[in-house]
Amino acid sequence: MAYILQVDFKMDGPFGDEMAVGFKELAESINEEKGMLWKIWTEDAEAGEAGGIYLFETKETAAAYLEMHSKRLNGFGITAINSKIFSVNESLTKINNGPVNA
Amino acid sequence: MAYILQVDFKMDGPFGDEMAVGFKELAESINEEKGMLWKIWTEDAEAGEAGGIYLFETKETAAAYLEMHSKRLNGFGITAINSKIFSVNESLTKINNGPVNA
C-alpha cells in the first residue's frame, strides 16, 4: 500500500519558470530518496505558498523524508510547514483513476 | 495547466474497506464532476482524518468542486476542513514523474 505525503508552506518565491531552474538539482536528488515514487510540485505565487504532493512506498519512508525535508526547509528560513501523511484507500482511488500504481 | 486540490478533515470513520463500500457511489459521482481528472482518497484511521488529493483541468473547476464538496461535508457534520488549490510546476514535476498528464 502506498502513502501520500502532502507538504505546503509560505514562500516568497521563486515561482514558475524561475522556480524550475532554481530547484532542478533538488528535484533530481529527490528521485534518489528511499521509497519515493513521484512528486507533484505545487505553487501559488499569489498566496506566496508552495509545496508538494508525494507518493511513497511505505509510511516509514514518507516519515523519514518529511523529517529530512523539514530540516532542509528550515535551512531555507521556512519554518511554518503544514504536512500530513495519509494511507490511500485503494478501492475508492481506483474508481477515480488515482495514479497510485506508479 | 492542471491544478491540485488538497482537502482533509477530521472524521470518525468509516475507514478502509468499510469506507470503500460506503462511499462507492459518491466516488462514481465524482467522475462526473466538471474538470475532474483524478482523485486519490486519503485516510488516517489512527488520527481520525480523511480527505483527498485531486487533479483538475482548471483553477475554476477545482474551486467550484471545492465549494460544492465543502457544503456536502458540512451536511455530513464535518465543518473543520483544510483545503488548498495549487498550480503545478510542470518542469519540476516532470523530473519527479508526477502524474499530472492523466
Tens of pLDDT, residues B28-87: 999 999 999 999 999 999 999 999 999 999 999 999 999 999 999 999 999 999 999 999
Chain B residue whose CA is closest to A3 = B42
pLDDT at residue A19, as a whole number: 96
- The total of structural domains in chain B comes to 1
Within-domain flag for B102: no
Residue B34 contacts A where some CB pair is shorter than 8 Å: no
State ipTM: 0.96
Whichever domain contains B50, its CATH number is 3.30.70.100
**Shortest distance, CA B3 to any CA of chain A (angstroms):** 8
Tell me what the pLDDT averaged over chain A comes to.
96
The answer to whether A37 and A2 are in contact (CB under 8 A) is: yes
Residue B91 contacts A where some CB pair is shorter than 8 Å: yes
| Residue A93, all three cell numbers | 482511488
Within-domain flag for B8: yes
pLDDT at residue A101, as a whole number: 79
Within-domain flag for A33: yes
| CA–CA separation, A85 and A68 (whole Å) | 14
Output phi, psi for B94, to 5 deg. -65, -40
C-alpha A24: how far from chain center: 14
pLDDT greater than 60 at residue A102: no
Within-domain flag for A102: no
pLDDT at residue A1, as a whole number: 83
Q: What is the average per-residue pLDDT within A65-78?
A: 96
Exposed (0-12), middle (13-18) or buried (19+): which is A95, by Cβ within 10 Å? buried
Across the A:B interface, residue pairs with CB atoms under 8 Å apart total 142
Mutate to test the interface with A, among B86, B90, B100, B101 (most CBs of A within 10 A): B86
Dihedral (Cα; A100, A102, B5, B9), 10-degree rounding: 30
Residue numbers of the domain that contains B71:
3-93
Q: What is the average per-residue pLDDT within A75-81?
A: 93
Within-domain flag for A7: yes
Q: What is the average per-residue pLDDT within A26-46?
A: 98
| CA–CA separation, A69 and A32 (whole Å) | 13
DSSP code at position A57: S
Chain B environment of A62 (Cβ under 8 Å): none
pLDDT greater than 80 at residue B102: no
